[in-house]
Amino acid sequence: MAQLDTREKLAILADAAKYDASCASSGTSKRDSRGGKGVGSTEGMGICHSYTEDGRCVSLLKILLTNHCIFDCAYCVSRRSNDVKRAAFTVDEVVDLTINFYRRNYIEGLFLSSGIFSSPDYTMERLVRIVKKLRTEHKFNGYIHVKTIPGASEELIAEAGLYADRLSVNIELPSELALQTLAPEKNYAEILTPMGQIRDGIIQNKEEKALFKKVPAFATAGQSTQLIVGASGETDLQIIKLSDSLYQGYGLKRVYYSGYIPVTDDARLPQLAQGDPVTANDLTADGHQTSPPPRFTEASLIKALEERGIGRPSTYAATISVIQDRGYVSNRGQALVPSWLAFAVTRLLEENFHWLVDYDFTASMEEDLDAIAAGDKNRVEWLTRFYFGDADGAGAGEIEGLSHAVENLGEIDAREVNSIDIGDGITVRGRGRGGGPQAGRRSRGARPRRAHGRQGARAARYAGRG
């Protein structure tokens, strides 16, 4: 087999990279090489439709490290069984191409992906070597987007985040079933694991920056993903719901959609040709119902806490753990679903300790604790006021004190606190931690009829429907 030169490799691997739609640099910070410091820039006009946070267009060299692949995904032009010309760059070839293209003013950054040859770690290690060499040896300041390889080690992914502006992990297809059908060697768990690691790394980096002056950057432009639309049978609604869960659960900057292109012959794929007419085999008129607000996910709950000034980045993980460990919420997918215990505790606090669970009080308490830690407030005086309250009561800016709130604990009706009146004489009552709801209706002159557990939940749900 004849040895390919760099130009021939570039023709093959740039063409293979064109199927990846997730090529945008929105969100990166500004860097340039003016003043003779390094080379490259994330700003300026270019030849590729990729944009910085302030809307400037940048040109990126968009290539694969290799189109060799150990996987045989039905939809991929680089699949193992596909009869295509193969090529692979060396680490130095990619570095030299990037620097030389920049110096000729062809590009201002690099978009680097790869087929998987040998193993995920073997491939990821070479991607990391490329971006590390560009940053440390050549002082390249341009934008870099690296495709993370699912299944690669945490250490390699963490190191990639130190040198790349953006990391991305392709989720490939809109459902686990589609992935099992068209790419059975892959699975959602291996894809979502590095997504979660990147999300956590970005959050940790922000926390460290709040504490220390000099902190190594980590994926400053965030992470993104891409999925192929049209290769499997998911509805638009399913795809939108998946995208929403990725935005909410993993803090993605962007979910890219790549329209399915028939690049291989496979019976599992839709058989399409250019110019084929589109017909509808069946039409269904679907009704529309207003949906309730979405439940909190860990990410959206943390965002709400940040917006209200409650907690600190270093306390958010502990807060989530507490409400889970105490049985206030359970996980259903990415959603945090409140338990009956949570409703009862919330009602108890709001009706009897309202000032303690006031959003503004909680936020101001965070500031007071910071002031105590900094030595600006006396902790004994603060705790005394917190427990005994202000002498004049609880007017504007004053607190009534915890001692006053706990004096009459014996008068609290626990049964009443644990009951929710849903109308039409029906009361739903929790049955303690871990217990399901019970629902009952009291008839005049008779004992109340009750349904427990699943029946109680159904009774509560369908109350008043006859």
Q: In terms of Cα–Cα distance, which of 220, 228, 320 is closest to 270?
A: 228
Contact 190, 150 (CB under 8 A): yes
pLDDT score of 382 more than 50: yes
Work out whether the CA dihedral 404, 410, 414, 420 comes out positive or negative: negative
Give percent of the chain above pLDDT 70: 78
Q: Which residue has the higher pLDDT, 64 or 453?
A: 64
Of 90-99, 288-297, 311-320, the least confident: 288-297
CA pair distance 89, 39, nearest whole angstrom: 22
Q: Per CATH, the architecture of 6-259 is what?
A: Alpha-Beta Horseshoe (3.80)
Beta bridge partners of 330: 337
Half-sphere exposure of 429 (CA within 13 A, CB side): 17
Give residue-wise pLDDT tens across range 221-249. Answer: 999 999 999 888 888 999 999 999 999 99
Half-sphere exposure of 351 (CA within 13 A, CB side): 15
- Give Cβ neighbours of residue 250 (< 8 Å, ≥ 6 apart): 192, 195, 196, 198, 199, 223, 299
Higher-pLDDT residue of 432 and 50 is 50
User: In whole angstroms, what is the distance from residue 254 CA to residue 186 CA?
Assistant: 22
pLDDT at residue 19 in the model: 79
Question: For the chain, where do the domains classified as CATH 1.10.460.10 start and end?
Answer: 298-411
Residues 6+ apart with CB under 8 A from 130: 65, 91, 94, 95, 112
Give dist(CA 369, CA 361) in Å, integer: 12
| Strand-pair category, 449-452 with 438-441 | antiparallel
Whether the full predicted model's pTM is greater than 0.85, yes or no, is no
Q: Give the number of other CB atoms < 10 A from CB of residue 246.
A: 21
Which amino acid does the sequence have at 358? D
Superfamily of domain 298-411: Topoisomerase I, domain 2 (1.10.460.10)
Q: What secondary structure does DSSP assign to 74-114, as a single string?
A: TT-TT-TT------B--HHHHHHHHHHHHHTTS-SEEEEE-
Average pLDDT of span 130-136: 97
What are 84's two structure tokens?
A: 């295509």
DSSP-H helix ranges across 137-217:
154-163, 176-182, 188-211
> Residues 145, 149, 153, CA angle at the centre, nearest 5°?
115
Nearest to 359 by CA among 345, 371, 349: 349
Q: Which residue has the higher pLDDT, 279 or 111?
A: 111
Residue intervals of the chain classified under CATH 3.80.30 are 6-259
- Bridge partners (DSSP) of residue 427 are 421, 440
247 Cβ neighbours under 8 A, 6+ residues apart: 255
Establish how many alpha carbons lie within 13 A of residue 275's alpha carbon, considering only the half-sphere containing its beta carbon.
0
* Cross-strand pairs, 259: 229
| Listed range (135-139, 188-192, 383-387, 399-403) with the worst mean pLDDT | 399-403
| Spatial CA neighbour of 299 closest among 252, 363, 359, 358 | 252
Report whether 174 contacts 229 (CB < 8 A): yes
Residue 157 token pair: 């992914």
Q: How confident is the model at residue 296 (pLDDT cuts 50, 70, 90)?
A: confident
Sheet of 419-423, strands arranged across: 419-423, 426-429, 438-441, 449-452
Mean pLDDT of 256-271: 80
